[in-house]
A = this chain, B = another copy of it.
């Protein structure tokens, strides 16, 4: 298929690479040009501006936050100039409000909007093993199924209203953030009693919590190793903030999200915005007076 791809950060670049490898023809655009050039070396066409990428049957985007979506899709005229019938597959974690807004705008322009946010860190994206939660027009989802199969291990269908996939994605990222905070508090508790965080986390992630989230992040927390980041503190804060917004819109108090939000803010105040979001654990270490990556210069 002929596919436009906008947004070539760590995740976007890995996904676009897998689409090229699966034999699709890509038109790529990125704000900074270097990743687009890397994909050109694999055979992609580099678009001079975002709207130029929106051709063929499908446009995939992986942009960082709601503002970037508004700037590129609306501000830079992508939706305005896209050919009628184009399927816009949004892979990013966006707010429920933005998902509704984009779906409505797409419909006005004769485009199909599919929300397909993905679970998985960059190394998972590279190996084509993402989990994709997808919602939108069933016919459009049917047509993009080969693309989703090329980037993910499994697709989880969630119905025909795109924002349903976004709500589930927000709930999932909120649960990951809670796991990070819980591991961080538990690690501080045991460390303050003379036990290494890794001794405790190894028991947990080897038994009751034997799952990717606790294994992968438990190791980062035990080793206090937060760079290079797979997913930054800034992005973690963004996702918890839009989970809180989704909660507020539907009158759902989320006390764990409030705690996590404040701990992300403290980490940003300590200038740790580019650390992996697993560093949330270091805020609890700092609060307990333990050696913490929040205190290093």
Spell out A's residues near B (CB within 8 Å). 96, 119, 131, 133, 154, 156, 158, 163-164, 167-168, 170-172, 174-176, 178-179, 181-183, 185-190, 192-195, 199-200, 203-204, 206-214, 243, 246-247, 250-257, 259, 284, 287-289
Question: How far, in Å, is A108 (CB) from chain B's closest CB?
Answer: 23
Main secondary structure of the interface of A (DSSP, over half): helix
- 10 closest A-B pairs by beta carbon, nearest first, are A178-B182, A211-B211, A192-B250, A171-B186, A252-B288, A167-B193, A131-B207, A255-B259, A208-B213, A192-B252
Q: Which residues in B have their C-beta under 8 angstroms from that of A154? A: 206-207
The oligomer's copy count stands at: 2
B211 and A189 contact, CB distance less than 8 A: no
Contact A243 B189 (CB under 8 A): yes
Indicate which residue in B175, B189, B192, B195 contacts A182 across the interface (CB closer than 8 Å): B175
Which residues of chain B have C-beta atoms less than 8 A from A212's C-beta? 207-210
Contact B247 A182 (CB under 8 A): no
Residues of B within 8 A of A187 (CB): 171
